[in-house]
C-alpha cells in the first residue's frame, strides 16, 4: 500500500497494492498499522455508502466539533471526482481545494482530515461511494460550505468535465453558507 501526502497538509492519497489473477483480484483496503505509520492516527468507527446517479453532486459537507469527522473515501463501483477544501483557520492552504479522481478501476482512497469540507460529483450512474468515518453522524453538527461560493475559486467544469448547470444537487446542499462563515470552526495545527 502506498500512502502519499498531498498538497493540502494532512490529506493523503492511498493506493492499495492489487493482486490480480484469473479469478479476479484482491487488495487490502484498510490496515490500521500501515495508516498509523503514514501519520493517519484516527480511529474509524463507522462505514457509510451512498449510491448516486450520473452528475449527482454531494457536498461540500463536514461535521462541526465536538463531532468532527475524519474520513477515508473511495468508490467501489463507477467513478467520481472527489473534492476537498481546507477550512482550518491559520492553515497555509485555507480555502484551497484539491480534486482527486476515484474509481473502481484505480481503487484509490482519499484520507480527508478533520477541518476539511468534502464533496464529489458522480461521473457514472450507480456510482457507489464509500465513507469510513471517525465519529458517528450527529445531525446537530452537520454542516457544509456552499459548493459554488466564489471564494473557493473552483472551476467545476475544468475538474469534472461537466457543466455545473447539469449537476443534480439536493436542496440542502444548495443553501450551505459561505467559506467565510466556516472559517472559525477549525484551527490548523502544524
- Integer angstrom CA distances of residue 173 from 31, 155, 158: 33, 18, 21
Cα–Cα distance measured from residue 135 to residue 145, given in angstroms and rounded to the nearest whole number:
20
Domain boundaries, the chain: 42-187
> Is pLDDT above 90 for 183?
no
Query: What is the grid cell recorded at 58?
Result: 454531494
For residue 11, give the nearest of 131, 118, 89 by alpha carbon: 118
Over residues 87-101, the pLDDT tens digits come to 999 999 999 999 999
> Is pLDDT above 80 for 85?
yes
Q: Which residues are catalytic?
A: 61, 131
- Taking each continuous run of H as one helix and of E as one strand, the counts in the chain are 3, 16
**pTM for this prediction:** 0.94
Q: What is the pLDDT of residue 127?
A: 99
At the topology level, CATH places domain 42-187 in Jelly Rolls (2.60.120)
- Integer angstrom CA distances of residue 64 from 11, 50, 94, 144, 145: 18, 21, 17, 9, 12
Q: How far apart are the first and last CA of the chain?
A: 25
Buried b (16+ CB within 10 A) or exposed e, 167-184: bebeeebeebeebeebbe
Amino acid at each position: 500500500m502506498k500512502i502519499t501526502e498531498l498538497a493540502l497538509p494532512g490529506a493523503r492519497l492511498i493506493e492499495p497494492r492489487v493482486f490480480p489473477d484469473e479469478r479476479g483480484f484482491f487488495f487490502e483496503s484498510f490496515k490500521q498499522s500501515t495508516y498509523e505509520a503514514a501519520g493517519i492516527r484516527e480511529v474509524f468507527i463507522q462505514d457509510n455508502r451512498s449510491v448516486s446517479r450520473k452528475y449527482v453532486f454531494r457536498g461540500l459537507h463536514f461535521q462541526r466539533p465536538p463531532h468532527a469527522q475524519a474520513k477515508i473515501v473511495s468508490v467501489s463501483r463507477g467513478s467520481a471526482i472527489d473534492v476537498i477544501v481546507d477550512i482550518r483557520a491559520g492553515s497555509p492552504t485555507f480555502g484551497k481545494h484539491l480534486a482527486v479522481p476515484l474509481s473502481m478501476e484505480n481503487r484509490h482512497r482519499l484520507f480527508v482530515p478533520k477541518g476539511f469540507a468534502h464533496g464529489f460529483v458522480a461521473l457514472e450512474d450507480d456510482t457507489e461511494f464509500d465513507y469510513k468515518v471517525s465519529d458517528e453522524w450527529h445531525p446537530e453538527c452537520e454542516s457544509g460550505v456552499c459548493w459554488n461560493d466564489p471564494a473557493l475559486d473552483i472551476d467545476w467544469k475544468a475538474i469534472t468535465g461537466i457543466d455545473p448547470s447539469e449537476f443534480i444537487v439536493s436542496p440542502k446542499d444548495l443553501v450551505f453558507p459561505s467559506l467565510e462563515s466556516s472559517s472559525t470552526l477549525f484551527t490548523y495545527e502544524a
